[in-house]
Every structure is written in C-alpha cells, then in structure tokens.
Chain A
C-alpha cells in the first residue's frame, strides 16, 4: 500500500437539478436561447476524473461506481482544458440496470469549472473532447460519450421529442425519458447549499401521462 496520503475527495457542487416543465407538447415559450438534449434514463453522476470518484445527485458516493471502470479510465485519459486549467469535474448520466442498453456507459453532458464558461462554450468543448452519442443508435456498453445539444434554430425539439418516443418503442424499453432544455447563456450553477435546489436554467420535459 502506498505511503502517500490520499486526499478525501468531496463533491465541488450538487449536480444542477432541472425544474419541471411538464410535457413538451404543452410547454409555453421560454425567454432567451435554449438548447435541447435527450433525457436519458440512468443515474445522475458527478465524476471527479483524476480519482474516478463518482457522486450521486445528493453528493453521496455512487454505490454502482465500481461498474464504470472502463469509462472512468477513458475519462481520466482525456485532458480537457478550460481557460488553460485541466477540468476535473464532469456531470454525467451513468447507464446501469434501468434497462439493458449501454450498460456501464457514461454520458458526459457537462463539466464544472471555476472560470464560469457559458453552456454554449462548455458544450463546444465537450463534443471536441469526446465522441458524441448518436441518439438514434443504442450506446455501446462500457463506453464514454458526450451529449450533443440540439439548437432549435436547426432542429425542431418537438420532432426530436416524438422521435425519442419511437426509439423507446423500437428498443422496447424506457431508454429516453423526454428532453431537457438548457439555457445557452448560463454558467454551470455551482452550489453546495442543497441537493434539492432547482436550477431554472435547465427545464425537463418528460412524456405526458
């Protein structure tokens, strides 16, 4: 065993928690500019890449972290620089147990940095660093993907919303839960006040009843 002192890693923030926007069919217009992403049915995970430590949305150690060795190794091997500083914290969805697709795969949809980059900038950097998941294909197991955001100026979110439902039916499982809208002009909302605190810059639109 190494004689080096091992620092205890504590989460740098609670993962951003979206507000509930109801179903997309009934959603009203949002002020500002928003990206849309598929909402995957997995476990929320805040990952400290250098140590491979995974925390759940309440800031507790994720009990299934041991299954993600391959994806974590890949995450550690990629050096992402934000304003010249290496990024250590990633906001991810961990796929495991809820369905059979993409077992032990990590989907990286954001990162946390102190320089306060806006979502638009963060997403650009992420898709350059990691291969983006093609939402129309089931993810491979034990992989690492980034999530490409869809700009409503180029893609109709309602069409995507419907398409994801069809994919669920084709794959015979609840792989997608809906869409998450994210305001492009917000920095990541770093906060250690409460895991229940919702962030109004992210809005989830799940399927109607």
Chain B
C-alpha cells in the first residue's frame, strides 16, 4: 500500500491547470492535534462513574501484572534456550517445547519455526562464515511477495519491473523492503548441522520466537 505524505511542492511555471487533487469523498479527515470532545453519558445516580473507575483501576492492575509476567517469561525463556539447543543437538526429530515444572503445575517453553528478521547478514558472518548462505537468505517484498517468485528468473523480473517503472517516470514509486531470514528448513537442520554453541550465538542475533504456554498445563488432578 502506498504511503501518503504531505509535501509542499512548488507550482510548475508552465502549468496553467490548477492543482489536480484526489477527492476523498466522505472519508473522515483526521484532526491534527486537538483532543476530541465527545458527548458525555448522563450519569444521574453515579453508577457509570463507579464502573468507569473500576475499569481504570483494573486496567492499571492488569498492566502491572502483564509487566511482571513479561519479565518472568523472558527469564524462563533465557534459562531454557541453552537447554533446548543442547538436548536437540544432533536430532532429526526435535520436540518443539521444553517443560518447566513446579508444585503449582507445568509450563511449556515452545520454540516454533518463527524467527526475527535481520537487516543484514553482517552479525551472522562471524558465527557461520561461509555457511551463512546455507542457513540464511535474502528476502524482500515489493507490492508483490518476493518469496513466491521463481528463483531462476527473479533478478530478470526485478530488472524489468524497474525498467517498466522508469519508463513511466515512476521509479520513485517503487519501494522495496528487504531483510535476511532463515532458509525454510533451518529450524530442523540447525540441530544437526550446527553445534549448540553456534545455535546459541545465532540466537543472540536472530532470536527464535519462543513462547511460554500455561494453558492446559496446570497441576494434574488427583
């Protein structure tokens, strides 16, 4: 989707036509900075005020609990990650989770096939060296999904696309978003091809999106 930016442009000298502008019809214009004044609900017996105060109070409580929970989950993920890579090392079939137990029940730390994207391959080179391209690749997105292009024709297609836009003086309209991400089978092959130490080092620059799950993992009933 194209971004909309307001720019102050100079009128062209040899352009007698008035500025051609798009009409946005009935679409609401966003106010710049004013805080909108809304009609206030009548509250003759104070009932709404009590509910409103309760919502605000409980939202604040939830924020505090969410903050504390985020810290605890992060701590658990940090402690579980070295164990995950060590126990999975050399295995073809790897459990997607590890378990942490307590008298209150069990939680799972799940390591799905999801990774953060990198802006550049530079931080991977000291860890993987020449193997970098075995495990990571460049990904990009235009208006089209770059992952779905035929690899053998990709460069040719992109060159033609740029030429096409340039021919119509629209090269500026073409924006690319690129990144480095793991190859599709990285999640499984990493445990066979790389050591736990290498995996931990990669995890520092390209963290696996680990999740802590508690649903259905409570204390077992007697």
Contacts and interface: CB of A to CB of B under 8 A. Distances in A.
Contact of A22 (B60, B117, B118, B120): B60
A20 interface: yes
Q: Chain A at the B interface: mostly helix, strand, loop or mixed?
A: loop
A200 B71 contact: yes
Given A193-B116, A193-B119, A27 B67 contact: yes
Nearest to B65: A28
Contacts of B60: 22-23, 26, 208-209
Contact of A23 (B63, B68, B119): B63
B61 A26 contact: yes
A51 to B, nearest CB: 21
B71 A27 contact: no
Contacts of B119: 192-193
A192 B64 contact: no
Contacts of A30: 68, 71
* Majority-rule SS of B interface residues: helix
B67 A19 contact: yes
B160 interface: no
B56 A209 contact: yes
Interface residues of A, number: 20
A203 B74 CA distance: 13
Nearest to B59: A209
Contacts of B67: 19-22, 27-28, 203
Contacts of A19: 67, 70-71
Contacts of A26: 60-61, 63-64
Nearest to A183: B71
B64 A21 contact: yes
A160 to B, nearest CB: 18
B147 interface: no
B68 A192 contact: no
B7 to A, nearest CB: 15
Nearest to B53: A209
Contact of B64 (A28, A32, A193, A194): A28
Nearest to B116: A193
Given A192-B120, A193-B119, A22 B72 contact: no
A84 interface: no
A128 B63 CA distance: 36
Contacts of B65: 22, 28
Contacts of B117: 193
A94 to B, nearest CB: 20
B75 interface: yes
Contacts of B64: 21-23, 26-28
Interface string A1-41: 00000000000000000011111001111111000000000
A47 to B, nearest CB: 20
A174 to B, nearest CB: 15
Nearest to B78: A200
Interface in B12-60: 56, 59-60
A208 B66 CA distance: 15
Interface of A: 19-23, 26-32, 192-194, 197, 200, 203, 208-209
| Those 7 A-B pairs whose CB atoms lie nearest each other, nearest first | A22-B63, A21-B67, A22-B64, A26-B64, A28-B68, A200-B74, A192-B119
17 contacts: A20-B63, A22-B60, A22-B62, A22-B64, A22-B65, A26-B60, A26-B64, A27-B68, A28-B64, A30-B68, A192-B120, A193-B116, A193-B119, A194-B116, A200-B70, A203-B67, A209-B59
